[in-house]
Structure 1
Amino acid sequence: MIIKNIRVYKEDRQFHKGEIAISSGVFTERLEEGGEEILDGEGCYAIPGLIDIHLHGCMGYDFCDGTCEAIRKIAEYEAEVGVTAIAPATMTLPAEELEQILSTAAAYKKTQQDVREADLVGINMEGPFISRAKKGAQDETHILPCSIELGKRFVKASAGLVKYMGIAPEESEDAAAFIREMKKDVTVALAHTNADYQKAMEAMEAGASHAVHLYNAMPPYTHREPGVIGAVSDTPDAYAELICDGVHVHGAAVRATFKMLGAERIILISDSMRATGMGDGTYTLGGLEVEVKENQARLAADQALAGSVTDLMGCMRNAVQNMGIPLEEAVGCVTCNPAKSLGIYKSYGSISPGKKGNVVLLDEGLQVRAVIKDGVIRVNRLTGAGTEEDPGKRGRNV
């Protein structure tokens, strides 16, 4: 396949006029024309397939449903909107239930071959080692102190798919030991934590290197109490997740974060829950009732934010169009950065020879015009290509 008449997002994080060649499902050097499929990109932006490292579900399904069907339905929807690789997040649930969810994901991963589905490239364990004070939409009855033995069980149940494991370091005297041991297997993240700056820095010095949805479920940043946010800023190799759905973090704070951390350390996530792609109504998240109205999902019990109802493509679009983040920076935060954080940059995250042929074509309004997954056209809304409904218009995409 050759994709012509496009502006290609390259490893220098800039757009360049050119074309893309894909052969046997991977990007390759320029092919000689002679019978291969030619796709006219109509001047679109061509970006790598997006990678969401923190989502819970969509279209009525949740990763913690613990079924292959749920994972498949989530993966199908994500691929339709241009997210071609996913690392779904777990909720705070009983340990045995989490092990079952993880083992189901491992079984699914072994058999996944359908190009219609986003690739399952990891799992983000948001709980159960979190703080009651910052539990957010997590069920506090299942919160546990961090445990190396249990952490190892989770990794084993997932057959190594667990890539991130969250922890509230202030909740355990053994947090540093947990971090030093578990960082051999996973990226240890600060998640749903009430840690102050000193405790957060101790965790970073022990080897934690990631922050789950920065600003949300953690102490606020102030000039005398910089907290987790200040510790992340002072740790040069730490990545920070950021939800840009227009609900979780104000646009001014998003712009300030890009100035503080730099675009290469920020990973945009969706944190989407099962209502994404659907309408207002009552849903569940981690066994708790959630009310969805317009662009917000809140726990019925206390109105705490309960994830988002905007997929990652919608979040990226919102960051650019409504928050003033340059397109080149936003694209890097949903492609290169998550791939590097996951340790899969050799195969994902950029349009480079030898990597998986996952491409999304966007028009000037950043609407999806085409999705190519493993070199196969997954969605095509280019001129003369039919009138397939944009799945994003079924939901809350900005």
Structure 2
Amino acid sequence: MQIKNGNLYTQGCFFEPHDLIVSGDRITRIAPSGFDSNEEEVLDAAGCYVLPGFVDVHIHGADGADFCDDTSDHISTISNYLGKKGVTSFLGTTMAFSEEILNHIIDDALPHFNQEEGGAVLRGINMEGPFFAKSKKGAQAERYIIDPDFEMFERLMERSKNNIRLCDIAPELPGAVEFISRAAKQCAVSIAHTTATYEETKEGFAAGANHVTHLFNAMPPFAHRDPGVVGAALEDADYVELISDGIHIHPAMVRTVFQIFGADRVCLISDAMRATGKPNGEYTLGGQKVSMTDGKATLADGTIAGSATDLVECFRRAVHFGVPIEMAAKAATINPAKSVGLEKEIGSCSEGKRADLLILAQDLSVKAVLIGGKRIV
């Protein structure tokens, strides 16, 4: 297949007129625009943006399904929904649960890791919980929240066949620093759901954490005399997650994060839950009842419970808020891929990488999606 006449998001993170040649599941050539490849199948992307498929490293569910469900088709439901939207890779994200429940979640996921099933590819697990501060639990169920237990983590990692790619932790908890130093040798470690001070967060980064989960949410505020987690992240974090749905973070702060952290460190995430793509109504997250009204999902006490916005829509909103499209694209593609060690296969349009591609019209609506070289939209 030749994808021609489009504005390709290049490795230099600019949109430039180039054609792509796709053979099998790989990008085999990047050619000058108008190149005659003699390919029988041609996709005309005139006037469109051609990007790598988006990578969501923090998503709980969509289209009525949750990654933690115990059903026969919940992962396929999420995968199919995301693929049609333009997300081509994702990490299934857990909640604070007991080890027994997490075992079941992992067992259900094992047959799906890195398998092409017609939608977004499940690339691993984001283990969000249960090692959190109870006072910053957000929508996590308090009854499951415990202090860091590395032996538990190690058993779960082994059970997952090393498919936990991101583990979240509050660094101020007893044993957290030692946990981070050991876990960071096996996966990325993220600061999350925390009351940590600036100094405690710096300790976590020094021990090996390199990531911050949904910046500003479920952590102390960023203050001029008490910089907290955000201040420490500015100095030490390789990556920070940002939910740009317009509900979790004010649009001005979305712009500010890109300005102060720069283009290379921000990862747009959806934090989407099962209400995404569904009508207003009652849903669940982590075993708790959630009400979703016009895109805002909350617990009974008003606590925000994930989002009801997919990653491509979060990208659109970031651009609408004033983030340059090149920066927003980087935060939805190569940055999240790098943050969890997937950049050799996905996250950029370069020869030899997987042909996971998203083609957007000028208004950023989806024109086409390819996963493993196969057009699904």
TM-score w.r.t. length of structure 2? 0.97
Aligned mates of 2:172, 2:43 — CA distance in 1: 54
**CA–CA separation in structure 2 for the residues paired with 1:193 and 1:220:** 11
Is 1:24 aligned to residue 24 of structure 2?
yes
Amino acid at match of 1:253: M
Q: Which moved more, 1:21-30 or 1:79-88?
A: 21-30
CA contact (8 A) 2:2 2:39 kept: no
Q: Partners of 1:23 and 1:175 in 2: how far apart?
A: 47
Query: CA 1:32–1:152 in 2, change beyond 3 Å: closer, same or farther?
Result: same
Counterpart-to-counterpart distance in 1, 2:267 and 2:116: 27
- Tell me how many residue pairs correspond in the alignment: 373
The sequence identity of aligned pairs, in percent, is: 43
Aligned to 2:358: 360
Q: 1:68 to 1:48 in 2, by over 3 A?
A: farther
Q: Secondary structure at the match of 1:133?
A: helix
Aligned residue number for residue 11 of structure 1: 11
> 2: CA distance between counterparts of 1:268 and 1:34?
38
Which amino acid in the other structure matches residue 170 of structure 2? A
| 1:382 aligned residue | none
Cα 1:135/1:344, change in 2 over 3 Å: same
* Counterpart AA for 1:295: G
The equivalences for 1:233-382 within 5 A come to 233-235=234-236, 237-300=237-300, 302-321=301-320, 323-379=321-377
CA–CA distance in 2 between the matches of 1:113 and 1:39? 22
Residue 35 of structure 1 deviates from its aligned partner by 4.7
Give the secondary-structure state (helix, strand or coil) at the position aligned to 2:359.
Answer: strand
Amino acid at match of 2:214: H
Distance 2:204 2:48 in 1: 44
Within 5 Å, which residues of 2 pair with 1:221-236?
A: 221-235=222-236
Could you tell me how far 1:67 is from its partner in structure 2? 4.0
2:116 is the counterpart of 1:113: yes
**RMSD across aligned positions (CA):** 1.2
Once residues 276 and 270 of structure 1 are traced to their aligned partners in structure 2, the CA distance between those partners, rounded to angstroms, is 10
**The residue matched to 1:149 in structure 2 has which SS?**
helix
Please state how far the C-alpha of 1:109 moved relative to its aligned partner: 2.1
Is the alpha carbon distance of 1:198 and 1:297 closer, same or farther for their aligned partners in structure 2, counting shifts above 3 Å?
Answer: same
Q: Is residue 86 from structure 1 mapped to residue 84 from structure 2 by the alignment?
A: no
Structure 1 residue 196 and structure 2 residue 194: aligned? Answer: no
- Cα deviation for residue 263 of structure 1 reads 1.6
Q: Which 4+ runs in 1 deviate beyond 6 A?
A: none
Checking the alignment, whether the CA contact within 8 Å between 1:100 and 1:157 is kept in structure 2 is no
> Is the contact made by 1:67 and 1:101 (CA closer than 8 Å) also made in structure 2?
no
Structure 1 residue 36: Cα displacement: 2.5
Tell me how far apart the structure 2 counterparts of residues 354 and 273 of structure 1 sit (CA, whole Å). 33
Counterpart code for 2:352: G
Partner of 1:128: 130
CA distance in 1, matches of 2:350, 2:329: 15
Contact 2:116–2:372 (CA under 8 A) maintained in structure 1: no
Question: Which letter maps to 1:247?
Answer: I
Unaligned stretches of 5+ residues in structure 2: none
SS at match of 1:263: coil
Structure 1, unmatched stretches of 5+, are: 380-398
Q: In structure 1, what residue type is equivalent to 2:37?
A: E
Tell me the secondary structure at the aligned position of residue 220 of structure 1. Answer: coil
CA contact (8 A) 2:54 2:87 kept: yes
How far apart, CA to CA, are the structure 2 residues paired with 1:162 and 1:131?
A: 21
User: Deviation of residue 280 (structure 1)?
Assistant: 0.2
CA distance, structure 1, for counterparts of residue 135 and residue 309 of structure 2: 26
Question: Displacement, 1:103?
Answer: 2.2
Q: Deviations over 1:71-111 (max 9, x none)?
A: 1110010000000000121011111101210122122227x
Bigger mean CA offset, 330-339 vs 59-68: 59-68
User: What TM-score do you get using the length of structure 1 for normalisation?
Assistant: 0.92
The CA distance in 2 between the partners of 1:177 and 1:11, in whole Å, is 37
Aligned mate of 2:57, from 49, 53, 64: 53
